[in-house]
Amino acid sequence: MLEPRGNGMALHTAPWFSALQICKRLSIAKSLKLPNAPNLDYHTIDNIAATWSSTFQEAEHGIIIDQLRDVHGFHAMNLQVLGCAGGIGGRERLTTCLLLDDDILLDAGTGLASLDMEQLVKIEHVFLSHSHLDHIAGLALLADAILGKKVGPVTIHATDKVMATLKSHFFNWLIWPDFATIPSAGNSVLRWETVQHGVAIDLGGRSIVANPVNHSVDATSYLVRERGAAFLFTGDMSTTPALWEKMKSETTLAKVIVDCSFTDADSELAAVSGHYCPRTLQDDIQFMPKSTEFLIYHLKPGQEEIIMQELKSNAKGRSFEALRCGDRFVF
C-alpha cells in the first residue's frame, strides 16, 4: 500500500494486484502497459520505480525496487555508483567504485569510503578492472576495516597479471600488509581468484564475464547479466574493436558504463595513457545498437563539460550521459 509521508509517499510490500491498482490510480498503468499478472519484466519494474520516485520526492528508487522485487521472489540487479571520477578536484570527487546489490563491487576506488561498516561487512566479491591506484585504493582500507568483523574472506577477482602486480607492489608489507595472510593464511581477510576471459562467473544468478580491453596496463571489462537484463562496465580503456564486436550482439545490453577521459584536443595524451577521447570512442561504438545508453565515467577534472559537449555534438542518435556519484540503476 502507499501511505502519506510528508509531501511524498512510503511504499510497503503489497500483492501484485495491489501494485497494479496503485499504478492505475497514479495514471501510469497505460503508459507502462502493465500486464494483469505478476510476470512484469525488468524494464517495467524499473519504470514503475522511476515513475514513483519522480512523482513522490521522498520515494527513493532503491527502496521502491527492493519492495517490488520481494513480491513473489522477484529479483533485479541494483547498481549504485559510489565513485566515478577521473581524478580529484573536479565535479566528481570520488574515484571508481560500483556497488552491485549489496555484496559485489566493481573496482574499489575511493568511492568505497562512502559505505558504513554495516555495508562494508556485506561485501563478498570485488572485481578489479586493472591495477591503477584510483581503482584499488579503497581495497586496502576495506581489508583493514572488516578485519575481525566478518566471517570468511572477501574474494578478489582479477587477471593473473593484475594479481601479481598488487601482490608485489601493494599488498607487500611495505605499502600495505598482505591481508591474504592476515590473521592467518587459512583464515584470511582477502582471497584471490583468477578471472578467465570469456568464462562466466555465476554469483547467485548474476553472471559476470570478463573481456580484455586495451589500456596502459593489463585491463578487463565486465559484462554483468541476470536473466533478461545486462550492463557493461568497461573499466579504463582505449580503442578495442574486439570488445564492441562482441557487445553488438548482446540483445539484453541496456547500458554501458564507459571511460572517456580526455577531450579530442588531448587525443595524443589519451592514446599514450590508454584512454578514450570522444572521437575514438565514437569510432569504436559505431556498430553498436542506437538503443544502447552510454554512461560516461572517468572524465578528467575540469574537462567534464567539454568532453560531454563533444560527445553529444556528434551523437548520431546515440545517448551519452555523464555518470554521477550517487546514481542508481536497476536491471
Per-residue pLDDT 10s for the chain (331 aa) are: 233 323 222 333 333 334 444 444 443 433 433 344 344 444 455 555 555 444 444 344 455 555 555 544 456 889 999 999 999 999 999 999 999 999 999 999 999 999 999 999 999 999 999 999 999 999 999 999 999 999 999 999 999 999 999 999 999 999 999 999 999 988 999 999 999 999 999 999 999 999 999 999 999 999 999 988 999 999 999 999 999 999 999 999 999 999 999 999 999 999 999 999 999 999 999 999 999 999 999 999 999 999 999 999 999 999 999 999 999 998 8
Q: What CA–CA distance (Å, rounded) separates 68 from 287?
A: 35
User: Which of 287, 293, 264, 288 lies closest to 276 in space, CA to CA?
Assistant: 264
* The three grid cell numbers given for residue 241, joined into one nine-digit string: 574493436
3-state SS assignment for residue 222? strand
Asked if residues 76 and 49 have their Cβ atoms less than 8 Å apart, the reply is no
Q: What CA–CA distance (Å, rounded) separates 279 from 275?
A: 11
| Partners of 296 in the β-ladder | 258, 322
* pLDDT at res. 228: 85
Asked if residues 116 and 146 have their Cβ atoms less than 8 Å apart, the reply is no
Tell the residue number behind the cell numbers 521502491, with chain if given. Answer: 64
Asked if residues 240 and 217 have their Cβ atoms less than 8 Å apart, the reply is no
* pLDDT at res. 50: 52
